[in-house]
A and B are shown apart, each in its own frame.
Chain A
Amino acid sequence: METEFLELKDISKSFGKVSALDRVNFYIRGEPEIVALIGDNGAGKSTLIKIISGVLTPGSGEIYVRGEQVDHWSVAKARAAGIETVYQDRALVVQQTIARNVFMGRERTGFLGFVKGRLQLAEADRLMRTIGFTSKVFSSDSVVARLSGGERQGVAIARALYFKADLMILDEPTTALSLTESEKVFDFMRRAKEGGTSCIFISHNIYHAYDVAERFVVLDRGKVVLETDREHTTAEQLVKDMQEIAHNNRHRSA
């Protein structure tokens, strides 16, 4: 049996009296895959990915990376383990070049801290090609402000890939993007997977999620209520399931 890349067992997290996650089990396979986290606002999606990326510590539960249990999980440990996060605001500096964005905070330097500019440009160019940016239109010394929303997301994704991430977490990567732009982002994710990187992404749009992800994990009020994959469901069925969950919620709270 293959070892999972990441496994979360019985993870619970509460903020004061509010329980955000309640004994959640979650895993990412050893083979690259794209997993969609779906659920209503407040379902616990963001809490879950923050725990995976090390921003939040779980109240209880166990985390395993490549089969080995880890403790004192942190952002630094997550990064060292090959887990990169693409933040919702993308963490870009738009007046700077693509290359400067990719290497922000971890510049490739040589003599006395001078930046290896050409090396950075070449590396950034290579990364952009890997995820499907056409080299004809942009070069890595183009300024990010000239890129569209989807392309900017691509820069953030390229940056996450630079350090050979095994798992990339994307927090609502297509928020405020048009359909074409969203499609671009999904394409970047598919390329990343082909290159050996798994992706977890949060989405509100089930059709979007169905389009790109192979596996779907539905959270509701801190619990995993549905786990399925593309072979076992259709987008329509998924929408129906979601409506049912929402309906039950209303019913219960009424």
Chain B
Amino acid sequence: MAISEERSQHPADESRGPRRGIPSFIDKNGRALSAFLVFTVLMLVFLIASPQVFLNPLIYIAISRTLPMFIILAAALVFVIASGEIDLSFGSIVGLAGWAFALTLQAGLSPYLGVLFAVIVGALAGFINGLIVTRLGLSSLVSTLGMGFLIRGLINIGTQGEGTPVTFLRDTPFYNTFIGSIRGFPVHMLWALGFVALSLLLFNYHKFGARISCVGDDLESAREMGINVATIKTLAFVYVGIASAIVAIQFTLTNQIFYPTSGESVLMVVLAAVFVGGTPGWGGIGTIMGAALGACIVGVIASGIVAAGIPHLFTEFFYGLIIILALLGHKLNGPRYRY
């Protein structure tokens, strides 16, 4: 039987065919594009509501103090979520890595060594998360929630709730490498862009990203085709751990003090950024660009509302509104392959 002949009797099938050019681009990037649309609309609303604030570069400098942290964490989190898991402990890992950094400085060692130590601690925490999920078989939703509390508890006990000032680092070459500015452009934003570029390459073009998607799409199929699913998932948690360490350094330097509560405030916001950005919660697909845009959306809401003169009590209400609207948009926009 000739399949092509049967097909030609059903012109409707043409719509399933390969699309090229712009339709193909929209087809493949629909989720990121709708996040971009939400971001554009949001910016327009803010520009119209208070042009004097949003045409002034100062607001963007203010936004850029927190935005890179959201972007880095959201981009990393896409890996874990696309692999079919979730990480609710990264906020505490930010605290833990920051503490490791502070301890290195207290010991009188080089801050560069502190960065290395923080990254190792962050990666190790992610590794433990991965082992708990893949080897002990616990649900990541519950186990990383537990790890989040556990790690935060350790920090509180270890530091007795005391912060560690790092003001002496201000304006050192080290400081300028991480959060200074080049011709007025904030360096920590460059770090965020670099991290997004790395994540994009890994997620879309590397074997690691391909396998993350396969594992999150159908665990059994991936296993049958010889993918080591435990290793892949563990590596995703490690990646979030490393991202948390980078954020910890930026957070500590921005505040010029290490707070034991570092990272506590980012948890819900970053999760919101990933989902608003178009990465669905069921695994198998994700978008790094979307996550970065999602981070911009939540970052702009936080700073924008206050700057526009709306009482900050409205912030969370607007977060909720945007999240629900964005998710609705993704649902209407893209086909939901789930069977």
Contacts and interface: CB of A to CB of B under 8 A. Distances in A.
B331 interface: no
Interface residues of A, number: 37
Contacts of A132: 3
B326 to A, nearest CB: 20
A137 interface: yes
Contacts of B6: 180
Contacts of A142: 16-18
Given A92-B221, A94-B337, A95-B284, A113 B206 contact: yes
A117 B208 CA distance: 13
Interface in B56-71: none
Interface in A82-115: 87, 89-96, 100, 103-107, 109, 112-115
B3 A104 contact: no
A138 interface: yes
A187 B222 contact: no
Nearest to B221: A91
A137 B217 contact: no
B217 A141 contact: no
B337 A109 contact: no
Given A100-B210, A104-B227, A138 B221 contact: no
Contacts, number: 103
B108 interface: no
4 smallest beta-carbon distances between A and B, as pairs: A145-B337, A139-B18, A93-B217, A105-B225
A172 interface: no
A117 B284 CA distance: 18
A145 B335 contact: yes
Contacts of B227: 104-105
A106 B226 contact: yes
B227 to A, nearest CB: 5
Contacts of A87: 224
Contacts of A5: none
A241 to B, nearest CB: 28
A237 B201 CA distance: 60
Given A104-B214, A113-B206, A184-B3, A93 B284 contact: yes
Contacts of A187: 1, 3
B183 interface: no
A123 interface: no
18 contacts: A91-B220, A93-B213, A94-B218, A95-B213, A100-B210, A104-B211, A104-B221, A105-B226, A106-B226, A107-B211, A114-B205, A115-B210, A133-B3, A137-B14, A139-B18, A141-B18, A142-B17, A187-B1
Interface string B194-213: 00000001000111101101
A9 interface: no
Contacts of A94: 217-218, 337, 339
Contact of B207 (A95, A114, A143): A114
B133 to A, nearest CB: 20
Interface string A110-128: 0011110100000000000
A77 interface: no
Nearest to A159: B225
B201 A104 contact: no
Contacts of B285: 95
B224 A95 contact: no
Contacts of B206: 112-115
A111 B6 CA distance: 43
Contacts of B210: 100, 103-104, 107, 115
Nearest to B227: A105
Nearest to A87: B224
Given A95-B338, A134-B3, A187-B1, 13 more contacts: A90-B221, A92-B218, A94-B218, A94-B337, A95-B337, A104-B214, A107-B207, A109-B207, A114-B201, A115-B206, A139-B18, A180-B6, A183-B1
B218 A93 contact: yes
A113 B232 CA distance: 14
B170 interface: no
A115 B207 contact: yes
Contacts of A133: 3
**Most chain B beta carbons < 10 A, residue from A112, A137, A142, A145:** A137
Interface string B4-34: 1011000001101110000000000000000
A180 B2 CA distance: 11
A136 interface: yes
A164 interface: no
A230 interface: no
Nearest to A150: B3
Contacts of A117: 205
A137 B13 contact: yes
Contacts of B18: 138-139, 141-142
Given A105-B226, A113-B206, A137 B7 contact: yes
A91 B214 CA distance: 10
A115 B1 CA distance: 36
A90 B210 CA distance: 19
